[in-house]
Structure formats: C-alpha cells, structure tokens
Amino acid sequence: MKIRPVILISVPVLFALFLITGDQSPAQQKTQNDGPLAAIPTEQRDALSKRLVGYVEAYKRRKWENLYGFVSDTGKGGTSQNVFVADMKAAHGSAFAQMPDLQEFKAARSDKNESGFDIYGCGKAQREGKGFNGIVVVHAVFEHQDWYFTGWRFTDFPNTPCNELADPKWQPENRVAWNTPMEEIRNSKQQGVPVHVDAPH
C-alpha cells in the first residue's frame, strides 16, 4: 500500500497566498468590470466615447471650427465661433505656439468632479514640432442633450509617466477647477488680441 505524502503549508505562506489571490477592492473591480468610463452612467458611455474621439481628432487636425462644436459652454466663455477660431489659431501656430495640440488620448479611468467628469488617460501632444506625453485629464460635461468638453491638460509638470496609471491607488496631486473658459480664450481676453474681420463686400 502506497502512502501519499502530506504537504504541510505554514501559516505565513497561506497568508501570502491570500494576499496574492484575495478579492480585489470594490474600486478595482468596478474599473476592471466597467472599463475606463466606469464613473459615467452606463447608458451614456458609448455617446461620450464617440464624442471624445471627435474632440481629440479636431485638436489633432487643428480643425478649430469643428472643435468649437465639442467645447462646453464654460470652455467657450461666451465667444462666437469666429472669435474662438481666431483665438485658437493665435495660440496654436506651427512656428510659434503658446499651447500644445492634443494628438492622442487613451482613457484609463474617470471620476466625478464638479458638474462633470474628469477622464484620465495616456495622452500625447505636440508644440512647435516637439512631442510630449504623459497622464492627461479631459473634463466632460453633459449639456444640451450631449457630451461636451471644457478642456484638457497634463496633470503635472514635468508630465507624469503613463505607467503610473497602472497603480489603482494613483491619484492626481491636484484637482483641476473647470469653472473658467479654455486657457486660449482667457489669454486672448486678457491680452486683448485683435480679431481680424473681413470688410463687408
């Protein structure tokens, strides 16, 4: 008769195994199960995702007329489309630029913030031919029966590496207050940048 060997596992080893295989926290489970837009109501996530793609694409292509249709009322600051386009062109030149152009954004998580939602992800931007990348936050609000965006920015300077988003405990050092117009609009108003208007024919 063969005697089967008895495997003895010490208490510390069992505790270590529990830590490795134990249940995830509710926050981790929600993010894993519901995806990067977990904070947004389920029925509105697809619409937000599509609008977000259009927002980034308009920035990347410098289609300022199109971008105007994606910016929230707060972000526009009461400017008309013509003034908005002029302000964006002034701040996003090819040879000289005050602000970077958002090129790519991949959402990783979302949080409720003020009247909307902060969407955090890995982003790439370009300014005067130089590339930047790091953790980016985009602020989304639901108004006029659709999703609009008040603005975007890198969370820190120097930019926080995207791999830090893999840590479920990561949090931005500071929350952005999204209660003012886009920086391009604010700068234009403060500096009194003249807007060219064609003479009537």
Q: Can you give the pTM of this predicted structure?
A: 0.78
CATH code assigned at 166 = 3.10.450.100
The verdict on residue 7 lying in a domain is no
Fill in the amino acid letter for 24: Q
The verdict on residue 158 lying in a domain is yes
The verdict on residue 1 lying in a domain is no
Angle at 138 between CA 186 and CA 164, to 5 degrees: 125
The verdict on residue 52 lying in a domain is yes
User: How much is the pLDDT for 94?
Assistant: 81
The verdict on residue 182 lying in a domain is yes
Backbone angles phi, psi at 198, to 5 degrees: -65, 140
User: How much is the pLDDT for 114?
Assistant: 85
The verdict on residue 8 lying in a domain is no
Contact in structure between 172 and 139 (CB atoms under 8 Å): no
Query: Which of 77, 73, 74, 55 lies closest to 64, judged by CA?
Result: 55
Q: How many domains does the chain have?
A: 1
Mind spelling out the 3-state secondary structure of the chain?
CCCCCCCCCCHHHHHHHHHHHCCCCHHHHHHHHHCCCCCCCHHHHHHHHHHHHHHHHHHHCCCHHHHHCCECHHHHCCCCHHHHHHHHHHHECCCCECCCEEEEEEEEEEEEECCEEEEEEEEEEEECCEEEEEEEEEEEEEECCEEEEEEEEECCCCCCCHHHHHCCCCCCCCCCCCCCCCHHHHHHHHHCCCCCCCCCC
User: How much is the pLDDT for 124?
Assistant: 97
User: How much is the pLDDT for 15?
Assistant: 38
Contact in structure between 50 and 57 (CB atoms under 8 Å): no
Count of residues making up the chain: 201
User: How much is the pLDDT for 23?
Assistant: 44
The verdict on residue 46 lying in a domain is yes
Q: pLDDT tens digits for the chain (201 residues)?
A: 554 544 444 444 443 433 333 344 444 445 545 799 999 999 999 999 999 999 999 999 999 999 999 999 999 999 999 999 999 999 998 888 889 999 999 999 999 998 899 999 999 999 988 999 999 999 999 999 999 999 999 998 878 999 999 999 999 988 999 999 999 999 888 776 444 333 333
Domain carrying residue 46: 27-187
The verdict on residue 160 lying in a domain is yes
User: How much is the pLDDT for 197?
Assistant: 37
User: How much is the pLDDT for 33?
Assistant: 57
